[in-house]
Amino acid sequence: MNPDQADPAELAELRAAFGTGDGGASALGWEAVRAFEADHGIVLPEPYRSFVAEITDGSSSGPPEYGLLPLAELPDDWGGGGRERELREAFPLAEAWMWEEDEEPADDAGRLLDRVHHHGSVVLGTDGCAMNWHLVVTGPHRGHVWLITDVGAVPFGAQFGYTTAEPGFAGWVRHWAEHKPWYDAA
C-alpha cells in the first residue's frame, strides 16, 4: 500500500472489480479531483485518487453493502447535523477505539468522537445501521480504510487483526471482489 503513488496493477484490479461499464464516463476526471483537493486542502490517497478520476465516482454494486458513494457524498442516514466535514484536519485515531466501553470523561470522549466522524476522512459508503466505511485522507493513517460504527472504530486490514485482507482502498475492494458476503471479522 503506497498512498502517494498509483500502482498500475492495483488500478487494473479496481477496473476489473467495477467493470468497464460506462468506460469511465462516471469518473470525475482530473480537473474535478484537483478542484476537490484544493477546496479541502488535501491530496487524496492513491489508488483512490486515480480511481475516482479515471474509473468511476461511486458504484451501486459496492463495496460496501449499499454501494460506493461518490466523492464528498454522505450516506442518507448520516447524522452530522449539517456540520461541515474538515478533511484537512488529521484523522485522530491510530488504533481501534470502542467508545461504548470507554471510561474517558464524557467531554474528552465527545470531542474525540466528533473528530473521528468529521476530521480527515472521506466516507466510502455504508453497510447500514450506522456502519460507515471511511478512507483516511489526512494524518498518520492516510490511505487506510476504517469501519466507524455507533459503538466504535476499527482499521481494516490484516495487520490490525480485524480481517484477513490487505489494508488500504485496493485491499478493501479486492477483499470485497473475492469474498461475497465480503466482510470477515477473523
The reported pTM is 0.91
The H or E element spanning position 124 is strand 121-126
Spans of all domains in the chain: 8-71+86-178
Could you report the per-residue pLDDT of 171-184, keeping only the tens digit for each? 999 988 887 555 55
Could you report the per-residue pLDDT of 126-173, keeping only the tens digit for each? 888 888 999 999 999 999 999 998 888 999 998 888 777 888 999 999
Cell numbers given for 96: 481501534
Question: For residues 22 and 26, what is the distance between their CA atoms, to the nearest angstrom?
Answer: 7
Question: For residues 17 and 4, what is the distance between their CA atoms, to the nearest angstrom?
Answer: 22
Cell numbers given for 74: 454522505
Lookup result for grid cell 466528533: 114
Cell numbers given for 88: 484537512
Instruction: Name every residue whose Cβ is closer than 8 Å to that of residue 106 and which is 6 or more positions away in sequence.
Output: none
